[in-house]
């Protein structure tokens, strides 16, 4: 049973376009939602994270949108670049349990130049 | 340079032959964890450790052992590997607070024949 469902499995976007990756969760006790970015041959690295008390968080070209009532959150990459080509994982956790993250299945993003 | 170092990067072994994957971090992190990454399943936690001599099972602990005798090291032991343990393994560490970013190693690709 996957606690965090991520879609799509793969995504191809033209350079300059918007990449959108969606995640849905079941457990309403989750209160921390990070996104990790993984390049080939490397381990994942934290990209951006959000708490459920805000509906949106933006860092440069990366934005998380959060919908608490729908139990969904998404990553938007504006002006997508070939260097953004990577695997993206959403995750969720309960802050008081420390770093026990539950990850989504991952999305392979390819940005075509 | 702050990093998590895993060795080896690649390992091919046969069913039943005990093996150890080493993990070391130089950031004085209290929290360390092992994940396996499989296509379509994302990252699943095997074991984690909140501090020296404190370890606990993650979501998929069967067939694995860990130990945390020193703060910096967290080896993963497969006593009797089986083909279903063929996977990409990642070690990660963090300060241990709920919103602390996880720092991942570059992975160990294990093949069990």
Three-state DSSP class for residue B79 = coil
Average pLDDT over residues B81-110: 95
Residue A46: its H or E element: strand A45-50
| Chain-centre distance for alpha carbon B30 | 15
The model's pLDDT over B58-78, given as tens digits with 9 standing for 90+, comes to 999 999 999 999 999 999 999
Average pLDDT over residues A66-94: 96
DSSP strand pairing (B10-13 vs B4-7): unpaired
Q: Which residue in A106, A104, A113, A97 sits closest to A32, CA to CA? A: A97
Average pLDDT over residues A91-99: 84
Determine the distance in angstroms separating the CA of B82 from the nearest CA of chain A, rounded to an integer. Answer: 23
CB atoms B102 and A44 under 8 Å: yes
CB atoms A99 and B94 under 8 Å: yes
Does the pLDDT value for residue B54 go beyond 60? yes
CA distance to A7, B10, B19, B101, per residue, from A92 (Å): 15, 30, 32, 13
> Rounded mean pLDDT of chain B?
96
Does the pLDDT value for residue A79 go beyond 60? yes
Determine the distance in angstroms separating the CA of A34 from the nearest CA of chain B, rounded to an integer. Answer: 9
Could you identify the residue written with the tokens 């083909």? B83
Average pLDDT over residues A100-111: 95
Question: Could you say which DSSP state residue B102 is in?
Answer: P
- Sign for the CA dihedral angle at A8, A27, A66, A60 comes to negative
Residue B91 — pLDDT band, cuts 50, 70, 90? very high
Residues in A touching B92 (Cβ below 8 Å): 43
Q: What pLDDT, on a 0 to 100 scale, did the predictor assign at position B59?
A: 93
Nearest CA in chain B to A50: B99
Could you identify the residue written with the tokens 């998929």? B60
Q: How far apart are CA B7 and CA A23, in angstroms?
A: 33
Could you identify the residue written with the tokens 């959060």? A66
CB count within 10 Å of CB B10 equals: 9
Residue B51: its H or E element: strand B42-51
Q: What pLDDT, on a 0 to 100 scale, did the predictor assign at position A1?
A: 57
Nearest to B96 among A32, A89, A98 (CB): A98
| Chain-centre distance for alpha carbon B74 | 7
The model's pLDDT over A7-20, given as tens digits with 9 standing for 90+, comes to 999 999 999 999 99
CB atoms A104 and B42 under 8 Å: yes
Does the pLDDT value for residue A33 go beyond 60? yes
Q: Does B113 touch chain A (CB under 8 A)?
A: no
């Amino acid at each position: 049973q996957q606690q965090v469902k991520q879609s799509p499995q793969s995504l191809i976007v033209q350079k300059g376009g918007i990449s959108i990756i969606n995640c849905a969760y079941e457990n309403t006790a989750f209160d921390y939602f990070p996104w990790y970015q993984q390049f080939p041959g490397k381990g994942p690295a934290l990209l951006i994270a959000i708490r459920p008390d805000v509906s949106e968080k933006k860092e440069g070209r990366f934005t998380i949108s959060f919908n608490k009532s729908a139990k969904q959150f998404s990553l938007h990459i504006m002006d997508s670049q070939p260097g953004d080509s990577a695997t993206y994982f959403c995750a969720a956790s309960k802050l008081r349990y420390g770093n026990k993250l539950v990850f989504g299945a991952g999305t392979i993003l390819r940005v075509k130049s | 340079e702050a990093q998590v170092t895993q060795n080896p990067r690649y390992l091919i072994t046969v069913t039943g032959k005990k093996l150890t994957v080493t993990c070391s971090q130089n950031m004085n992190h209290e929290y360390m964890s092992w994940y396996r990454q499989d296509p379509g399943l994302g990252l699943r936690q095997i074991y984690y450790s909140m501090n020296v001599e404190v370890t606990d099972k993650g979501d998929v602990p069967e067939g694995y052992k860990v130990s945390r005798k020193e703060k910096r090291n967290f080896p993963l032991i497969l006593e009797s590997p089986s083909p279903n343990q063929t996977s990409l393994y990642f070690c990660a560490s963090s300060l241990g607070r709920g919103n602390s970013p996880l720092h991942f190693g570059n992975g160990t690709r294990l093949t069990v024949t």
